[in-house]
Structure 1
Amino acid sequence: MACLLLHGGLVCERQLKLVTLDPHVPRSCMGNQNLLPVRDSSTKTILEGAKVVISLSSYVDGTLMARSSGFFINWDEESKVCTVLTSARLICSKYSSMDQWLGSDEYSPDATVYAHLLDKDETTVPAALLHYDRHFNIALFKVDVDSCAKIPSFSSEVTCGQDIFALGRDDDLNLTINHGRVQFKGPSMFERHYYMYTGFTTGQSGIGGPIINFNGQVLGMTNVLGMGFIPSSVILHCLDMWKKFGYIPRLHIGMKLSAMKFLDPIHVEKISRKCNIDSGLIVKELEIELMQICEDHLDKGRGIGSSVDIQAYRIL
């Protein structure tokens, strides 16, 4: 029988199959000395949040298309159905441009999707697509589960410099944990203007996982490769619109906008002075403002494709 030297002692190959002695379990960021003061409390928060973080895989004609993470946002005790939030990249079959505003990516909403659950047997069950949105890059699936851990609450309060954890699952269903701070950074001209940034890079398998604070509240979701995430304020508006109208409307204004707050203060001061701008004219949450205009417009009985007048006080 083959034996290996592990932690100073001989361990047989049969023993290595025990989860308690598995040498292949990856290490997380929690060994970072900077997290030592909050190691104990943060570990408890992470392990609680991990109970609703699952892995998802998509297939087209029997061929694996993508693997990503997702998390439960609702469970109906009567029907035993969980709603899973993830990134629409799970069913994106072709990425044709770095410029996300072109909307040229191709999706396969008829793809076969499976949810990899966290029970002892790591059961795999079908996941049925409820809705997906290309612009916000989110997707909702329903999964049949007999029981569900406590669903985490969302918090819309996301501030620059705030400590965050990103949770996900790798291809072996191991929990992935990343730590960082919300960056004081705006999106590039090729990225959606609602993005916020983590300061660390998320790989494909971690996309769709939740961004949480030290209290375990969901602050957003990693929905693209790299550092970008969609904040909870936008997610909650998307969910409200979907529940209310059955889809997520979006206002097309034909302009690319960027936030003044991410400019150097010298630049901000010059723009404000030269263009006579005061704080009362600055819209702090553009995406939320546009979605609210859409909702008010649809509440009046208008539909998709109709027009709405908006007033621009000043175009710079």
Structure 2
Amino acid sequence: VVYCTGIITEYDEVGKCAKVLSSSSIMCSEEGKLRDPNQKVSVHLSNDTVVEARVLFFNDHYGVSFLDINTEFPLVPATLGSKPYYGQNVFVLDRDDEYALVVSHGSILYLEKPLFERNHYMFASYNSSL
């Protein structure tokens, strides 16, 4: 996940709260330690509002964090599916040459079906980072 970017993974219309997948680099030191346990994290929404987030989880090794926000602004979570198909447009979470986590987009080129309870392989073409 790119620094200062977030992906809405869940939104509760009744409670007006959302879960956001983001980067942990804003809250971790170079050594992977939490900079400040009381650090405030702000989330800027597409309607130009800013809300305070609560850190639910972070993992500096993978460079990700989960945040919880409350907002009156309706949000649409990313569609995360588990039934990929040939030719489907997808987002790919991978690492660049320097092992930084990046999000790219592309399409599924080939699927190998599971065999004898083994994992299957999926091959995708993808463009440069978003």
Task: Please say whether Structure 1 and Structure 2 have the same fold, judged by a TM-score greater than 0.5.
Answer: yes
Aligned to 2:53: 127
Q: Which has the higher strand share?
A: 2
Deviations 1:142-165 (A, max 9, x none): 11122434322225689xxxxxxx
Q: Distance in 2 between matches of 1:220 and 1:156?
A: 15
The answer to whether the aligner puts 1:143 opposite 2:69 as a matched pair is yes
Q: Which has the higher helix share?
A: 1
Q: Distance in 2 between matches of 1:146 and 1:225?
A: 40
- Structure with larger Rg: 1
| Matched residue type, 1:117 | L
The answer for unaligned runs of 5 or more in structure 1 is: 1-54, 56-66, 96-103, 159-212, 232-282, 286-316
- Percent identical: 19
TM-score using structure 2 length = 0.59
Larger RCO of the pair (alpha carbons < 8 Å, separation 6+)? 2
Q: Give the direction of change, closer, same or farther, for the CA distance of 1:140–1:112 in structure 2 (3 Å limit).
A: same
Aligned to 1:164: none
Aligned to 1:77: 13
Q: Distance in 1 between matches of 2:60 and 2:97?
A: 15
Q: Distance in 2 between matches of 1:70 and 1:225?
A: 22
Aligned to 2:44: 116
The answer for unaligned runs of 5 or more in structure 2 is: 104-118, 122-130
TM-score using structure 1 length = 0.27
Runs (4 or more) in structure 1 with deviation over 4 Å come to 155-158, 224-227
| Matched residue type, 2:22 | T
Q: Which moved more, 1:75-84 or 1:137-146?
A: 137-146
Aligned residues: 102
Cα shift at 1:105? 2.6
Q: Distance in 2 between matches of 1:221 and 1:85?
A: 15
Deviations 1:114-136 (A, max 9, x none): 001111xx111111111112333
Q: Distance in 1 between matches of 2:62 and 2:54?
A: 19
